[in-house]
Amino acid sequence: MTDVMPDPLTLAILLPLFGAIAAFLLPRAAPAIGLGAVVATAAAIAVLGHLVVQAGTIFVPLGGWGAPLGIELRADGLALAMLGLTALIALGVGLGALAAFAGETEVGGQPMARQRAFFWPLCLLLLTGMNGVYLSNDLFNLYVMLEVISLAAVGLAVLGGTVAALRAGLAYMYASLLGALMMLLGVGFVYLQTGRLDLAGLAGAPDSAALSAAFGLMLVGLALKTALFPLHFWLPEAHANATAPASALLSALVVKAGLYILLRLAEAGPFPGEAILTLMGVLGTGAVLWGGVQALRAERLKLLVAWSTVAQMGLIFVALARAGLEGLSDSWRAAALLILAHAVAKAGMFLAAGRIKDVIGHDRISELDRSAVRPALAQLAFALAAISLIGLPPSLGFIGKWSLMEGAMMAGNWHWVAVTMAGTLLSVAYFTRALTGFLRFDRVRAPLDEHRGWALADAPPVVLAGLAVGLGLAAGPILAVLDLGTPFGAIP
C-alpha cells in the first residue's frame, strides 16, 4: 500500500465525508455529488472486499499510530458484509431519494429544494459514520463515529420539517446523546481498568467490577441507541415521522450501528456473564412482543413499520442470546444474518411505504384500499419486504430465523424458539393488516387508474425488497463472507 494511493479502508470513510462536504457546499449539485460519492464508496468497498477475500483480516493504522492507543482500522468478513450492505442500501435509498425529493411542492414541512439540499450531506455523513463504525478497531473511535451517526441521523429525522418530525427528532436526539454519553463513560471506565482502548485489549483484561460497570454502561448506551425494549420509546415516532428515504436509512442502518458495536464487544469479550446475555434475550422477547402488539394497534402504515423495527431489533437480541455464553461464538452469525436481512428488507419497506403514502396521499391503514390509484409496484415491494421480515422462506429473514432457532434448539433453549415463533405470528398478524389493505375491494367506485401508481421511483424499493427475499438463496455465500478473517475465532 503506497502513501500516494490511500487504502480502501480509509477511502471508505473519507469518500463519503468529502462527498458530504462537497454536497453541502454545492447544494444544487448535491444529488449528483451524493450519488457519485456513494458509487465511489461502493467501489472502494469492492476493492476492500477483494483484499479481504484474499487476505482475511486487514489492519490499517491511521496516522502512524497503532494499537493499543492509536487509531487503527480493521476489516474482516463481518465488517465487509456490513459495508457492502450499507453501500447497497445507501445506493438504493439514494436512488429512491432522487424521486422522493423531486417535486417542488411543499407538503407541509420544509420546501423540497431545501430537503433535497440537506438530504445528501446528511446521508453521506451518515455513511461516513456507519463505515467508520464498521472499520474502527478501538472503542474511542467507535464512540466518535457513533456520535457522527447520531447527529446525521437526527438531521435526517427532522428533515421533513413537520412539527411531529421535529418533536420526534428531538426525543431521538436526547436518547441518542444520552446513549452516547453512557458509551463515553463506559469507554472511560475501560480505559481506567485496562489502560488501552483497542478492542483487542478487552480480550485479555481480567474480570473486575469496574470492567463490569463499563460493560454495563456501554450496553445500556447501545441498548438505548438500538432501541432495545424498554428503551425503544423514541424510535417509532422518529422513524414514522421522517421522510421515507430518511426513515429507510434510520431504520435499516442507524440502529444497526449499535448492534454492530455490540457484536464487536461480544467478539472481543469477556462478555459479562450469562445473566446479562439472558437479560438481553428477555428484553429482546419483550421487544418482540411489545413491538408486535403495538404494530397491531398502529393506525398508520409507517408507524406500523417503525414498530416492526422495534420487534425485529428485539429478535436480533434474542438471536445473540439464543445459545448462552458458550454459543455466542456461533450465535453472532444468526444475529448478523438477521441484521443484514432486516436492513435490506426494512429499507425496501420504508421506501415502499413512502411511495404508497405519496401516491395515495395518506398512510392510514384502514383506508389504504380506498384510493383511486393503485401503487401496485410499491405494494409489491412492501409485500416482498414483509415476507422477509416475517421470515417466510426463502427470504434472508427466513435464513436468519432458521439459524436462530436451529442454534436455540441445539442448545435446548426451546423458549427462544417459542419466542421466535410468537414473533413470527405477530409479524404475520400486523403485516397482514397492511397487505389486506393493498388488495382493494372496490369500496371506492372510482375509476382505477393503474398506471399513475407506477414510476421509476418504484424500482429501488422493489429491488431492495426483492433482494431481501432473493438473498436467502445466497445465504451460503453470505455466511462465507461473514466468516472471512474468522471473527469470533475459528468456525466451529
Partner 1 sequence: MIALSQATIYGLAGLAVFGLGLMGVLGAAERLRRLIALNLCAAGAGMVLIAAAWRSPPAVPDPVPHALVITGIVVMVSATAVALALIRRLHSLETDTDD
Partner 2 sequence: MIDMPLLPLIILMTSLGAAPVLLALPERSARLRTGLNLAVAAVKVALVIWLAWKAAHGVVYDLRLSVLPGLDLHLQADPLALMFVALSAVLWLVTTIYSVGYLERGPHRARFFGFFSLCVAATVGIAMAGNLFTFLLFYELLTLATYPLVIHRGTAAALRAGRIYLIYTLVGGLALLLGTLALWGLAGTTDFVPGGVMAEVAAERPAAAQALFVLLIAALGVKAALVPLHGWLPIAMVAPAPVSALLHAVAVVKAGAFGIIRVVYEVFGIELAQGLGVTGPLIAVAAVTIIYGSLRALAQDDIKVRLAYSTVSQVSYITLGVALAGPVAAIGALAHLIHQGVMKITMFMAAGNLAEGLGVKKVSQMDGVGRAMPGTMAAFSLAALAMIGLPPFAGFVSKWYLAQGGIAAGQDWVIALLLGSSLLNAAYFLPLLHRAWFRDATPEAANAPARRKISLWLAAPPMVTAGFVLVIGVLANAPFSPLEWTRFIVTREFNGGL
Interface residue list for partner 2 (CB under 8 A): 376, 380, 387, 392-394, 399, 402-403, 405-406, 409-410, 417, 421, 424-425, 428, 432, 436, 439-443, 448, 450-451, 472-473, 475-476, 479
Q: What's the gap between Cα 122 and its chain centre?
A: 16
Q: Which is nearer to partner 1, 94 or 221 (CB)?
A: 221
Q: Which stretch binds partner 1 (CB under 8 A): 189-197, 198-206, 243-251, 326-334?
A: 189-197
Question: How big is the site for partner 1, counted in residues (CB under 8 A)?
Answer: 30
Of the two residues 200 and 409, which places its CB atom closer to partner 2 in the complex? 409
Give the contacts of 155 (CB within 8 A, at least 6 positions apart). 118, 122, 125
- Shortest distance in whole angstroms from residue 166 CB to partner 1: 4
Q: Which three cell numbers, joined as nine digits, stand for 63?
A: 496516522
Nearer to partner 1, 134 or 189 (CB): 189
Q: Residue 307: CB partners within 8 Å, gap ≥ 6? A: 236, 291, 292, 294, 295, 298, 430
Amino acid at site 377: L
Shorter beta-carbon distance to partner 1: residue 157 or 343: 157
Distance CA 336, CA 488 (A): 12
Contact status, residue 176 vs residue 150, Cβ threshold 8 Å: yes
Nearest Cα residue to 245 out of 335, 336, 350, 133: 350
Residue closest to 91 by CA, chosen among 465, 460, 466, 467 = 460
Exactly one of 114, 167, 364, 433 binds partner 1 (CB under 8 A); that residue is 167
CB of 441 to partner 2, least distance (A): 3
Copy the grid coordinates of residue 296: 397491531
Q: With binding defined as CB under 8 A, does residue 208 bind partner 1?
A: no
CB of 481 vs partner 2, minimal distance in Å: 14
Task: Let me know: does 214 contact 189? Beta carbons within 8 Å.
Answer: yes
Q: How far is the CB of 461 from partner 2 (least distance, A)?
A: 15
Binds 24, which of partner 2, partner 1, none (CB < 5 to 8 A, cut-off by type)? none
176 close to 182: Cβ distance less than 8 angstroms: no
Which one of partner 1, partner 2, none is in contact with 167 (Cβ closer than 5 to 8 A by kind)? partner 1
Contact letters for partner 1, residues 63-102 (x by CB under 8 A): ------x---------------------------------
CA dihedral 292, 149, 82, 205 (to 10 degrees): -100
169 is an interface residue for partner 1 by CB under 8 A: yes
Q: Which stretch binds partner 1 (CB under 8 A): 2-10, 140-148, 377-385, 406-414?
A: 140-148
Does 433 bind partner 1 (CB under 8 A)? Our answer is no
C-alpha of 89 from chain center: 9
For 272-339, give the DSSP string: SHHHHHHHHHHHHHHHHHHHHHHHHH--BHHHHHHHHHHHHHHHHHHHHHTTTTTTHHHHHHHHHHHH
Binding site for partner 1 (CB under 8 A): 69, 140, 143-144, 147, 150-151, 154-155, 158, 161, 163, 166-167, 169-170, 173-174, 177-178, 180-181, 184-185, 187-189, 191-192, 197
